[in-house]
Structures are given as C-alpha cells and as structure tokens.
Amino acid sequence: MTNTPPSKESKQPLKEKSLTIDQNLTIDGIKENFPGIYAELTNEGMSMSIDEIKGDLVNSFSQEGEQQEIDPFAKYDPDVYDFLSRAKTNEEGFEIINFLAKRGQISSKTAENLTKTLRTSGIRYFGPIRSSDYYFRKAEEIRNHRSIQKRYPSQEWDETKD
C-alpha cells in the first residue's frame, strides 16, 4: 500500500482530511504545503543580530546616546491608585489613604475625595486587584514589546495601557 499525496483538486480544511506525508517530499513541496516549517528550516526572516540580543540583556546606548533601561519600572514611583489597586478590602483602602495622608504623599483634600469615593463605590472602583508579581509581569511584557518594535518598527503598541 503506497501513500499518495492528496490531489490539488480536493482542497478541504486540514481538520476534515487525513494528512499523509510522502517520504519523497521535495523542498518545493515543503515550501508549498508547509510555508511556516519552510521558513523555520531556511531561517527566512527569523534571525536576530547579536546587537539586538545584547541590547535586550544588558544596558546599551541608543543611536542618540541615551542609555536604555532594562527595567521599565526602575525609576517608577507608585501613586495612591497603584497602592489602592493592591488592596483587597475597603478597610485596607482606608488604611492606605490615611497612611499616605499622614506621610504627606497626598493632600488632605485628595484623601477626603478618595475616602468619599471608596465609601460610595468600593475598592474595585480604583481598578482590578493587582497580584504580587504584577510589576514583574508588566515589565516583561513591556520589554518584549520594545524588542518587537525594534525589530518591526511598523508595529504600534501603547506601553501605558493595562
């Protein structure tokens, strides 16, 4: 019993037909039938320069001479909303507001408005709860997107969105 490749006339979705691979498959056959595998095998458009890899792993200087940051949150100073997003209950929210007001990090007027909002709308008004590894995951996502933007400048992405 010999395996014959399916005819070109019987173009059915892959899930509806059984796939047999001929042992005499040629490079042209792979290119035509399996373009993704062909691209991987021939490394077409799938390479990175050493500078791109080094730039992702260590601090490097951009063309303008500015130092790029590896950690996008290295100089980030969380605000009251970041802290409130970590709170699990309204009581924790009130504690955060009072603590920041006592330290002078928010004004008494801001503390009063936040307390009023917390009483009427609840803690989830300030956003979904953030897990303990939120900033690590977000930083990794930002680094990945920056790397993609460097390789494919036409791709657009907003780092500020959650």
Query: What are the C-alpha distances in Å from 99 to residues 84, 104, 105, 114?
Result: 12, 9, 9, 13
3-state class of 74 per DSSP?
A: coil
Helices and strands: H and E segment counts in the chain: 7, 0
Q: What is the pLDDT of residues 107-156, one digit of tens each?
A: 999 999 999 999 999 999 998 999 888 988 998 888 888 888 888 776 56
CA distance 40 to 31: 11
Q: Where are the domains of the chain?
A: 13-47, 50-74+132-151, 80-126
61: confidence class by pLDDT, cuts 50, 70, 90 = very low
Sequence-separated (6 or more) residues with CB below 8 Å from residue 52: 147, 150, 151
pTM tops 0.85: no
CA distance 93 to 97: 6
